């Protein structure tokens, strides 16, 4: 069994041929160096292995600077590993891939476009939608309207970004990431800048969208409660250079409610995740 598939076994999944065939994202023995100047480099990831099943929701947690965001860049093809291999959907990733949707802590909406037109941007860029956008524009706009209504923004479709709150902007950002029905959704601390109540509300919105659409999801977060609420599997990374220290399966039924975070099982898992990170940092 490879180290990547060993992660599946740790998470409570059988290391069988059937399980191996269902691996959608496979990061194998990856090393990533960032060049600093002409002669120096920073080792971000070393001997990193990670495997995700198709449709799985995975959270990545760990100390700042451990390479969590670098994993997202590798999975999307925005960066190539210095060593090792990244495979998505059975194909090696050698350039940016089209099947990805992404959302970040900063929604980065274009201020001169209305909310619906910001949401539609991936359809103007990503094939096959780009070549058929003009002919099917009305159809695409209805798709965007329906998605915005689903996240509670039905009355804000024609508003500009500067007319929306932070929570509204993140709802629109999620819609933009999902509008082209990506098979892989990459989320880099999308709720980190929001207040606690708005953040918890958006956890429920994201869970609903994922359960309806079933993309494979990688969520990078510093919030351990967020990881436990949203993920099927939580991977804990070491301090830089990053590697996967341990993997925990989240055995809480879906759909999950915020009350589930106050159960003994959830509290124990949050404490265990925190202890892994603290121990690795020497705290």
pLDDT score, position 282: 63
As a whole number of angstroms, the distance between CA 210 and CA 206 comes to 6
User: Which is it for strands 100-104 and 91-92: parallel, antiparallel or unpaired?
Assistant: unpaired
Give per-residue pLDDT as tens, 20-33: 668 999 999 999 99
Residue ranges with strand state E in the chain? 23-36, 40-53, 57-61, 83-88, 91-92, 100-104, 184-188, 216-220, 233-237, 244-249
Given this model, what pLDDT does residue 40 score? Answer: 83
**Amino acid 3: pLDDT:** 37
Pairing label, strands 184-188, 83-88: unpaired
Q: What CA–CA distance (Å, rounded) separates 63 from 76?
A: 22
Q: What is the pTM of this model?
A: 0.90
Tell me the mean pLDDT in the region 164-187.
96
Class level of CATH domain 54-78+93-280: alpha beta
Classify the phi-psi angles of 189: left when phi > 0, otherwise alpha if psi is within -120 to 50, otherwise beta.
left
- Alpha-carbon gap, residue 140 to 121, rounded angstroms: 11
Domain ranges in the chain are 54-78+93-280
Q: Taking a C-beta distance cutoff of 8 angstroms, is the pair 161, 118 a contact? A: yes
How many contiguous H segments (helices) and E segments (strands) does the chain have?
11, 10
What is the predicted pLDDT for the residue at 232? 97
Among candidate residues 71, 102, 229, 112, the one with its CA nearest the CA of residue 173: 102
Q: Phi and psi at residue 61, in whole multiples of 5°? A: -125, 160
Quote the CA–CA distance of 170 and 195 in Å, as a whole number: 12
Average pLDDT over residues 162-172: 96
Residue 4 has pLDDT above 80, yes or no: no
Burial string for 238-270 (b: 16+ CB within 10 Å, else e) reads bbbbbbbbebbebebeeebeeebbeeeebeebb
Predicted confidence (pLDDT) per residue in 108-126, tens digit: 999 999 999 999 999 999 8
* Cβ(87)–Cβ(141) below 8 Å: no
Element (H, E) at 256: none
Using the structure block, give the residue that is written with the tokens 């959302």: 103
- Over range 81-102, report the average pLDDT: 95
* pLDDT tens digits for range 237-280: 999 999 999 999 999 999 999 999 999 999 999 999 999 998 77
Alpha carbons 148 and 78: distance in angstroms, whole number: 28
């Amino acid at each position: 069994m490879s180290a990547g598939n060993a992660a599946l076994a740790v998470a409570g999944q059988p290391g069988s041929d059937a399980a191996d065939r269902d691996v959608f994202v496979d990061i194998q023995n990856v090393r990533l160096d960032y060049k600093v100047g002409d002669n120096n480099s920073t080792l971000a990831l070393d001997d990193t292995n990670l495997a995700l099943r198709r449709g799985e929701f995975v959270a990545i947690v760990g100390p700042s600077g451990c390479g969590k965001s670098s994993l997202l860049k590798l999975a999307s093809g925005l960066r190539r590993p210095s060593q090792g291999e990244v495979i998505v959907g059975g194909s090696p990733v050698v350039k940016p891939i089209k099947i990805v949707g992404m959302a970040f802590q900063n929604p980065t909406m274009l201020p001169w476009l209305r909310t619906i037109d910001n949401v539609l941007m991936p359809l103007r860029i990503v094939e096959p939608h780009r070549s058929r956008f003009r002919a099917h524009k009305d159809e695409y706009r209805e798709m965007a309207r329906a998605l915005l209504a689903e996240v509670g923004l039905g009355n804000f479709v024609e508003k500009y970004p500067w007319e929306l709150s932070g929570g509204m902007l993140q709802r629109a950002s999620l819609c933009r990431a999902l509008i082209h029905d990506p098979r892989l959704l990459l989320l880099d601390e999308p709720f980190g800048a929001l207040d606690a109540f708005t953040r918890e509300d958006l956890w429920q919105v994201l869970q609903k969208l994922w359960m309806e659409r079933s993309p494979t999801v990688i969520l990078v977060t510093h919030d351990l409660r967020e990881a436990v609420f949203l993920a099927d599997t939580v991977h804990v990374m070491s301090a830089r250079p990053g590697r996967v220290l341990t993997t925990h399966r989240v055995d809480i039924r879906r759909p999950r409610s915020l009350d589930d975070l106050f159960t003994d099982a959830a509290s124990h898992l949050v404490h265990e995740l925190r202890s892994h990170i603290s121990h690795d940092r020497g705290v």
